[in-house]
Structures are given as C-alpha cells and as structure tokens.
Amino acid sequence: MSEKKYWLDRKENVNKVYWAVWVVCGALLLIDPLVHKHEVFGFAEWFGFFGFFGFFACVGLVLAAKALRRILKRAEDYYER
C-alpha cells in the first residue's frame, strides 16, 4: 500500500509557501505608510512598528521557552521510577 502524499511533501511547494509569506510581509510593510493610524502612543505610529514588535515578541517567547525548559525538564527516566 502506498503512502499518501500531501502537497507540502514536495520541496517546490514548500519553497512557494516560504516565498509567498515573504512577499505578503513585504507588501504589508510597504503599505504601512499609507495607513492612517490613531494611536495613543507616538512610537506606535513608527514605520513598521507592529511588524517589528511582533517579530521581536516571537523571538522573546522562544528564548523564554528555552529558559523555562531548563527549569522544568524532567529526567529521561522520570516516568519509569
């Protein structure tokens, strides 16, 4: 019996999705100056603020998760004891 192939199993489709995400992010960054913002804080009106904030927030979450892993991880034979 053959294994079912999904569309993301093909490398060229993964590359298409990868580049599509970059194109969409770039397009959103380019139209950012055209959108009028009604922000309370002045720094929220900076060019690309929310994109950069989201990127650095995700990086911070990954680094925090790596630090928590060192604190919370169990020994490999934890359930066998």
- Print the domain residue range for 27: 9-80
1 within a domain of the structure (yes/no): no
17 within a domain of the structure (yes/no): yes
Full-prediction pTM beyond 0.85?
no
Number of domains in the chain: 1
Residue with tokens 């009106």: 45
For residue 56, pLDDT beyond 90: yes
Mean pLDDT of the chain: 91
2 within a domain of the structure (yes/no): no
28 within a domain of the structure (yes/no): yes
4 within a domain of the structure (yes/no): no
Q: Which two tokens stand for residue 18?
A: 């990868």
For residue 17, pLDDT beyond 90: yes
| CA atoms 33, 28, 26, 45: torsion sign | positive
**What distances in angstroms separate CA 30 from CA 4, 18, 36, one per listed residue?**
40, 19, 14
